[in-house]
Amino acid sequence: MAANGTVESLVTNGKVTVKYNDDCRDVTKDACRHHCREAHCVNKATDTGFSAGEPAPMGLCGYILMFFSYILVVLTFPISLCFFIKVVQEYERAVIFRLGQLVPGGAKGPGLIFMLPCVETHRNVDMRTVTFDVPPQEILSKDSVTVAVDAVVYYRVQNATISVTNVENAQRSTRLLAATTLRNVLGTKTLGEILTERENISHQMQTALDEATDAWGVKVERVEVKDVRLPVQLQRAMAAEAEATREARAKVIAAEGEKNASRALKEASEVISESPAALQLRYLQTLNAISAEKNSTIIFPLPVDLLRGILPFGSNGNHHMNAGQNPGSHADTPPGV
């Protein structure tokens, strides 16, 4: 209902009917057109039907041509069946035009369809999912790095009628739009985001493409970023940076190991210093390990005082052998000497 009750509009099945009240006799044609534009209704088409208002009348010539077409079919029957009956595959839909106008009822198929000779034409539309590769695009990232990125797009025609009537070539238009969308989306990302957030970028591209191609009867199901190629100089710089990072990490780990080893060695030295016998045993163990490595024998002087805490003593508390006595003093000496 228009303002002030001057013009009434009735919208039914996409058709706008304007009705004048008694107070609107002086309304101008421009005002009525403006009101109709505001009150228009656009129905979204489906595969089972496409309604954009009532079709325009064909006129006298159109009806005459249809009459002669029916006569031709009857006169040439049954031979005409081989020429006027078309087969639409399961994965296809046929959009039929009669004298240049879209036949009501939307796309036909699958199965057999009948077409009048010289009056009707048709166009088959493949409804299966189609994939195509987006050519590598030279993109300047947000942090001023030039990269080459390509992608793959999965889409299908969800409305055969709109894909034929609203766009000249839905497949070519989708390809061009995918390349443009790839550049636009990646142009707002830094190099790090491009390398690490591929799933998010693919989702943004899929959403943008799906919204743009909805008016063409195309449904974009999936978008995947395939490869990100960096300049050779940048690859070398990143490799050098990664190598330096690994070396720094290795040095930190080695320093931590030395620190822990020094702490353990300090604790061990404190324990050994409290027990002289343990120190001497450690000394002997080290000598034994050295001799075992090269299969050699090591002879070293060992003071008797060093063994005083290790060797057993006699019953009188003295050693069996005097420390100051030479081994040769045990020989018998003549009496009186």
Q: Residue 142 sits in which domain range? A: 130-234
- pLDDT beyond 50 at 317: no
**pLDDT for residue 211:** 92
Give a yes or no: residue 210 inside a domain: yes
Q: What is the Cα Rg of the chain in Å? A: 49
Q: Distance (Å, rounded) from C-alpha 115 to C-alpha 97?
A: 10
- Which of residues 208, 234, 260 is at a domain's end? 234
Residue 299 binned pLDDT confidence (cut-offs 50, 70, 90): low
How sure is the predictor about 292, in pLDDT bands with cuts at 50, 70 and 90?
Answer: low
Would you say residue 12 lies in a domain?
Answer: yes
pLDDT category at 270 given cuts 50, 70, 90 is confident
Q: Is 205 exposed, middle or buried (0-12, 13-18, 19+ CB in 10 A)?
A: buried
Model pTM above 0.85: no
Question: 221 and 135 share a domain?
Answer: yes
Which of the pair, 296 or 33, is modelled with greater confidence? 296
Question: Is the residue at 264 inside a domain?
Answer: no
pLDDT of residue 28: 41
State whether 144 and 230 are in the same domain: yes
C-alpha–C-alpha distance, residues 217 and 47, integer Å = 10
Per DSSP, the residues of 170-184 read: HHHHHHHHHHHHHHH
Looking at residue 300, what is its pLDDT?
Answer: 60
Termini Cα distance of the chain = 154
Are 81 and 100 part of one and the same domain?
Answer: yes
Q: What is the arithmetic mean of pLDDT over 287-298?
A: 67
Please state, in angstroms and rounded to a whole number, the distance separating the CA atoms of residues 200 and 206.
Answer: 10
Judged against a pLDDT cut of 70, whether residue 95 lies above it is answered with yes
Quote the pLDDT of residue 56.
57
Transcribe 74-129 into DSSP letters.
HHTTTTTHHHHEEEE-TTEEEEEEETTEEPTT--B-SEEEE--TTTEEEEEEE-S-
CATH number of the domain bearing residue 136: 3.30.479.30
Residue 40 has pLDDT above 70, yes or no: no
Tell me which residue of 122, 216, 224 sits closest to 171, measured CA to CA: 216
User: In whole numbers, what is the pLDDT of the chain averaged over residues?
Assistant: 73
Residue 120 scores a pLDDT above 70: yes
Same structural domain, 135 and 216: yes
For 2-14, write each residue's pLDDT tens digit.
344 433 444 333 3
Contact 219, 158 (CB under 8 A): yes
The tokens of 76 are what?
Answer: 């040439």
- Report the alpha-carbon distance of residue 116 to residue 72 in Å, rounded: 9
The tokens describing 209, both together, are 């493409």
Query: Given this model, what pLDDT does residue 117 score?
Result: 77
Does the pLDDT value for residue 242 go beyond 60?
A: yes
Please identify, among 218, 234, 250, the residue that sits at the C-terminal boundary of a domain: 234
Q: What is the pLDDT of residue 141?
A: 87
pLDDT reported for residue 3: 41
Question: Residue 53: is its pLDDT beyond 80?
Answer: no
Q: Considering the domain boundaries, does residue 246 fall inside one?
A: no
* 243 located within any domain: no
Residue at a domain's end among 234, 251, 270: 234
Backbone torsions φ then ψ of 153, nearest 5 degrees: -120, 135
Q: Provide the b/e sequence for 216-235 (b: ≥16 CB within 10 Å).
A: bbbbbeebbbeebebeeeee
Q: Which residue has the higher pLDDT, 316 or 252?
A: 252
Give the CA-trace dihedral at 303, 309, 312, 314, to 10 degrees.
Answer: 80
For 17-26, letters b (16+ CB in 10 Å) and e give: ebeeeeebee
Tell me: do 27 and 101 sit in the same domain: no
pLDDT at 48: 39
Alpha carbon distance 122, 94 (integer Å): 6
Asked whether residue 303 is domain-assigned, the answer is: no
Please report whether residue 268 resides in a domain: no
The highest-confidence range among 35-44, 193-202, 288-297, by mean pLDDT, is 193-202
Mean pLDDT of 279-301: 68
Assess whether 121 and 139 both reside in one domain: no
Q: Categorize the per-residue pLDDT at 29 as very low, low, confident or very high, splitting at 50, 70 and 90.
A: very low
Dihedrals phi, psi of 311, to nearest 5 degrees: -75, 150
Number of folded domains in the chain?
Answer: 3
Specify whether 122 is located in the same domain as 146: no
Per-residue pLDDT tens for 197-210? 899 999 999 999 99
